[in-house]
Structure 1
Amino acid sequence: PGEWGRLSPMYRDGFSGQPEQSFEALAWTGDSEEKVVDVAISRLEVDDQDLAMVEFRDLTERRRAEVALHHSENRLRTVVANAPLIFFTLDRNGIFTISEGRGLERLGLQPGEVVGRSVYDVYSDHPEICESCRRALAGHEFKELIDVSGMSFETWFSPTRNSRGELDGAVGVAIDVSTSRRLEQQLQHSQKMEAIGRLAGGVAHDFNNLLTVIMGHSEMMTRKAAPGTPLHGEAEAILSAGRRGADLARQLLAFSRKQLVEPKIIDMNQILAGLDGMLRRLIPESINLSTVLEPGTVRIKADPGQVEQIIMNLVVNARDAIESGGRITVEVSAVTIDESYTATHQTLAPGSYVQLAVSDTGRGMEAETRLKIFEPFFTTKDTGRGTGLGLSIVYGIVRQYGGDIQVYSEIDQGSTFKVYMPRIMEDQTPMAAAPHGLRAESGSGTILLTEDEEGVRMLAREILEMCGYTVLAAANGEEALAISQSHDGPIHLLLTDVVMPGLSGGEVAERLRHLRPGIKVVFMSGYPDDAIVHHGVLDKEQAFVQKPFSIEDLSGRIRSMLD
Structure 2
Amino acid sequence: MSDSSTVLKYMSGEDILREADSILLFTSRSGKIITVNRQMCDILGRSAEEIVGMNWFSDLVDPESGDAASRAFSDLLTERGSGTFRQEYSILADGGSIPATFLNRVIRDEDGIVMCVMVSGHLLENPVEYPEDLVRDADLFRRIMEDSDHGTMIIGGDPPVIEYASESAGRMLGLETSVLTSMEASEVRLVFSEPSWNDLTGRMRMLDGSGDPSGTARYSMLNADGVTVRAMVSILVSEHGHHPVLQLVCTDITDTVQTIESLRESEEKYRTLVENSNDAIVIHRDGIIVFVNRTATTLTGYDRGELLGNSVLNFVSHDHEALVLRNMTNRIAGKKVPPIYDVEILRKDGEKIPVELNVSEIRFDGERSYIVLVRDLSERIQLENQFRQSQKMDAVGQLAGGVAHDFNNILQVINGYTELADAALEEDHPVREMVRQISKAGERAEELVHQLLLFSRNQVIVTSIMDLNQVISEHLKMLKRIIGENIGIILETCTDPVYVNADHSMAGQVLLNICLNARDAMPEGGRITVRTDRVYLDSEFCETNPSARPGYYGMVSIADTGHGMDEDTLSRIFEPFFSTKGITAGTGLGLSTVYGIVTQHDGLIRAESVPGEGSVFRVYLPAADRNIEIEEIPQEYEVEEAVSLTIIIAEDDDDVRNLACEVLSEAGHEVITAADGEEAVLLVTDSPDSVDLMIMDAVMPVMNGFMAAEKIREVRPEMPIIFCSGYSREKSSDALERFRENSRFLLKPYSMAQLLTAMNELFSEQH
Distance 1:176 1:150 in 2: 11
The question of whether the paired residues in 1 share the 8 Å contact of 2:642 and 2:759 is answered with: no
Change (3 A) 1:248 1:64: same
CA positional deviation for 1:115: 1.3
Which residue does 1:52 correspond to in 2? none
Query: Aligned ranges for residues 427-442 of structure 1 at < 5 Å?
Result: 431-432=631-632, 434-439=634-639, 441-442=641-642
Q: 1:81 aligns with which of 275, 288, 296?
A: 275
Q: Where do 1:442-521 residues align within 5 Å? A: 442-486=642-686, 490-521=690-721
Distance 1:429 1:480 in 2: 34
Q: CA deviation at 1:186?
A: 3.1
CA contact (8 A) 2:281 2:292 kept: yes
Contact 1:366 1:410 in 2 (8 A): yes
Q: Distance in 2 between matches of 1:514 and 1:78?
A: 69
1:382 aligned onto 2:582? yes
Judge conservation of contact 2:460–2:732 (CA < 8 Å) in 1: no
Residue equivalent to 1:105: 298
Instruction: Give the match's secondary structure for 2:307.
Output: coil
The one-letter code of the counterpart of 1:154 is: E
Paired residue for 1:548? 749
Paired residue for 2:456?
Answer: 256
Shift of 1:465: 0.7
Report the counterpart of residue 289 of structure 2 in structure 1: 96
Whether the 8 Å CA contact 1:533–1:539 is kept in 2: the answer is no
Distance in structure 2 (CA, Å) of the matches to 1:480 and 1:21: 110
Moved more, 259-268 or 4-13: 4-13
How far 1:550 sits from its partner (Å)? 0.7
Q: Distance in 1 between matches of 2:727 and 2:352?
A: 42
Aligned residues between the structures: 538
1:362 pairs with 2:362: no
SS at match of 1:436: coil
Q: CA deviation at 1:554?
A: 1.0
Q: Deviations over 1:334-369 (max 9, x none)?
A: 222233333333322333221100001222223333
Show structure 2 runs of 5+ residues with no match: 1-31, 34-51, 67-86, 97-120, 131-252, 332-336, 346-350
Deviation at 1:272, TM superposition (A): 1.0
Structure 1 contact 266–430 (Cα < 8 Å) conserved: no
Query: Could you tell me which residue of structure 2 aligns to residue 7 of structure 1?
Result: 56
Q: How does 1:181-192 map to 2 (within 5 A)?
A: 181-192=381-392
Q: Could you tell me whether the CA contact under 8 Å between 1:137 and 1:159 is conserved in 2?
A: no
Q: Tell me how far apart the structure 1 counterparts of residues 429 and 302 of structure 2 sit (CA, whole Å).
A: 81
Q: CA deviation at 1:526?
A: 0.5
CA gap 1:263/1:531 in 2 versus in 1, 3 angstroms: closer
Residue of structure 2 equivalent to 1:204: 404
Matches within 5 A, 1:168-179: 170-179=370-379
Partner of 2:545: 345
Alignment partner, residue 529 of structure 2? 329
Q: Is 1:153 the equivalent of 2:153?
A: no
Query: Matched residues in 2 for 1:64 and 1:354: separation?
Result: 59
Greater CA drift, 441-450 or 104-113:
104-113
Q: Would the aligned equivalents of 1:498 and 1:529 in 2 still touch at CA under 8 Å?
A: no
Counterparts of 1:518 and 1:250 in 2: how far apart (Å)?
Answer: 32
Q: Which one-letter code corresponds to 1:119 in the other structure? A: V
Distance 1:48 1:489 in 2: 133
CA distance in 1: counterparts of 2:729 and 2:260, whole angstroms: 74
| C-alpha distance in 1 between matches for 2:684 and 2:262 | 90
Q: Offset at 1:210?
A: 0.8
* Distance across 1 between alignment mates of 2:404 and 2:703: 21
Q: Which residue of 2 aligns with 1:115?
A: 308
* 1:457 aligned counterpart, secondary structure: helix
- The 8 Å contact of residues 144 and 155 in structure 1, kept in 2 or not, is answered as yes
* Residue matched to 2:155: none
CA distance in 2, matches of 1:144, 1:453: 56
Equivalent AA in structure 2 for residue 128 of structure 1:
H
Q: Tell me, in whole angstroms, the C-alpha distance in 1 between the residues paired with 2:604 and 2:690.
A: 50
Deviation at 1:469, TM superposition (A): 0.5
Shift in alpha-carbon separation, 1:325–1:511, aligned structure 2, 3 A: closer
- For 1:395 and 1:265, the matched residues in 2 are separated by 21
Partners of 1:213 and 1:509 in 2: CA distance: 24
- Determine the structure 2 residue equivalent to 1:237: 437
> Would the aligned equivalents of 2:400 and 2:456 in 1 still touch at CA under 8 Å?
yes
Distance 1:151 1:440, change over 3 A: farther
The 10-residue stretch of structure 1 (537-546 or 449-458) with the greater mean CA deviation from structure 2: 537-546
Distance 1:366 1:295 in 2: 35
Is the 1:263–1:537 contact (alpha carbons within 8 Å) kept by the matching residues of 2?
A: no
Secondary structure (helix, strand or coil) at the match of 1:83 reads: coil
What amino acid does structure 1 have at the position aligned with 2:339? Answer: F
Q: Is the CA contact 2:648–2:674 (under 8 Å) kept in the aligned structure 1?
A: yes
Q: Say which of 125, 131, 142 aligns to 2:339.
A: 142
User: Could you say which structure has the greater relative contact order, defined with CA pairs below 8 angstroms and 6 or more residues apart?
Assistant: 1
**Residues 1:17 and 1:278: Cα distance change in structure 2 (over 3 Å):** same
Give the aligned partner of residue 149 of structure 2: none
1:354 aligns to what SS in structure 2? strand
1:69-112 Cα shifts (integer Å, max 9, x gaps): 888666544432222221223343x3323222424313323335
- Say if 1:426 and 1:23 are closer, same or farther in 2 by CA, change over 3 A: farther
Q: What is the alpha-carbon distance in structure 2 between the residues aligned to residue 459 and residue 266 of structure 1?
A: 39
> 1:379 touches 1:388 (CA, 8 Å); kept in 2?
yes
CA displacement at 1:505 relative to structure 2: 1.1
Which contiguous aligned blocks of 4+ residues in structure 1 show a shift greater than 4 angstroms? Answer: 11-20, 60-75, 158-162, 167-170, 427-430, 485-489, 529-532, 535-539
Task: Give the partner amino acid of 1:553.
Answer: Q
* Distance in 2 of aligned mates of 1:548 and 1:5: 105
Question: Offset of 1:19 from its aligned partner?
Answer: 7.6
Deviation at 1:277, TM superposition (A): 1.7
1:118 aligned partner, one-letter code: S
- Residues 438 and 128 of structure 1, relative CA distance in 2, 3 Å threshold: farther
Distance 1:74 1:259, change over 3 A: closer
Residue 323 of structure 2 is aligned to residue 131 of structure 1: yes
Q: Structure 1 pair 137/400, CA: closer, same or farther in 2 (3 Å)?
A: same
Q: Which residue identity does 2:679 align to in structure 1?
A: E
1:472 is paired with a residue of what secondary structure? strand
How far 1:547 sits from its partner (Å)? 0.8
Q: What amino acid does structure 1 have at the position aligned with 2:760?
A: R
Report if the CA contact (8 A) 1:99-1:113 is conserved: no
Q: How far, CA to CA, are the matches of 1:101 and 1:16 in structure 2?
A: 59
Q: Closer, same or farther in 2 for the Cα pair 1:537/1:119, shift >3 Å?
A: farther
Match for residue 141 of structure 2? none
Task: Report the CA distance shift for 1:309/1:150 in structure 2 as closer, same or farther (over 3 A).
Answer: farther
- Aligned residue runs from structure 1 range 285-434, under 5 A: 285-424=485-624, 426=626, 431-432=631-632, 434=634
> Distance in 2 between the 1:513 and 1:431 partners?
22
Work out whether residues 136 and 157 of structure 1, in 8 Å CA contact, stay in contact via their aligned partners in 2.
no
For 2:588, give the aligned amino acid: G
Closer, same or farther: CA 66–299 of 1 in aligned 2, 3 Å = closer
Between stretches 226-235 and 13-22, larger displacement belongs to 13-22
Work out the CA distance in 2 between the residues paired with 1:250 and 1:226.
32
Q: 1-side partners of 2:691 and 2:717: how far apart? A: 10
Root-mean-square deviation (CA), in Å?
Answer: 3.7
Contact 1:103/1:176, CA 8 A, preserved across alignment? no
Cα distance in 2, alignment partners of residues 133 and 67 from structure 1: 42
CA distance in 1, matches of 2:635, 2:763: 15
**In 2 relative to 1, CA 213–393 (structure 1 residues): closer, same or farther, beyond 3 Å?**
same
* Separation in structure 1 between the aligned mates of residue 688 and residue 313 of structure 2, nearest angstrom: 91
Select 1:44's aligned residue among 98, 102, 125.
125
